Amino acid sequence: MAATILQRVVMSTRVNICNAKRSNLFTYRNIFISRSFLRERRYTDKHEWVMLDEKGNTGIIGITNYAQEALGDVVFAQLPDVGTEFNAMDECGALESVKAASELYCPLSGKIADKNVSVEQKPALINKSCYDQGWLFRIELAKPEELDNLMSEEQYNKFLKDQNE
């Protein structure tokens, strides 16, 4: 009889541990999905992209592949100075290529937290890796709700398709 009671206690404990592990796994998955959603790129009709950092209060800004292909070989990058404040869609810099010059627009309101000095020194990084090494600047968000005004990747691709028709 003691063995039966002990067996029930052990089985009950195993079930509770398994349920706890499943519960933690479920919570972990929800957190992971939420964080990956925050890190989804958003796009402007001026062909800039924004991706939030891990904390969700700073946006990393760059130009899209479409923009860098349209520009051609980028030879000069004028990026905004750290500490400068901008409103959404203010002109904040410029890119020059062998084909053309193009203004940069700040997709969101806020204060410039950092700029990619490597891009200023080697503008070709934009052509080589516009979504990674070729990012342009970081901005501390003043109005995070402005992200809702930007396009998802799916919406941006539709925008490009409509623009090319």
Supply the pLDDT for residue 80.
Answer: 98
DSSP class of residue 152 equals P
What pLDDT, on a 0 to 100 scale, did the predictor assign at position 163?
87
pLDDT computed for residue 39 by the predictor = 60
- In the chain, where the domains are located: 39-164
Give pLDDT, residue 55: 87
Between CA 65 and CA 80 the distance in angstroms is: 21
- Strand segments (E) across the chain: 42-43, 48-52, 58-63, 74-78, 85-86, 90-97, 101-106, 110-115, 137-141
Mean pLDDT in runs of 10 for the chain (165 residues)? Answer: 40 42 43 47 97 92 96 97 98 95 96 98 97 97 95 96 87
d(CA 76, CA 95): 6
Q: What is the model's pLDDT at position 18?
A: 43
Q: Is 83 helix (H, G, I), strand (E, B) or coil?
A: coil
pLDDT value at residue 165: 79
- According to the model, what pLDDT value does residue 122 have? 98
Fold of 39-164: OB fold (Dihydrolipoamide Acetyltransferase, E2P) (2.40.50)
Residue partners of 132: CB distance under 8 A and separation at least 6 = none
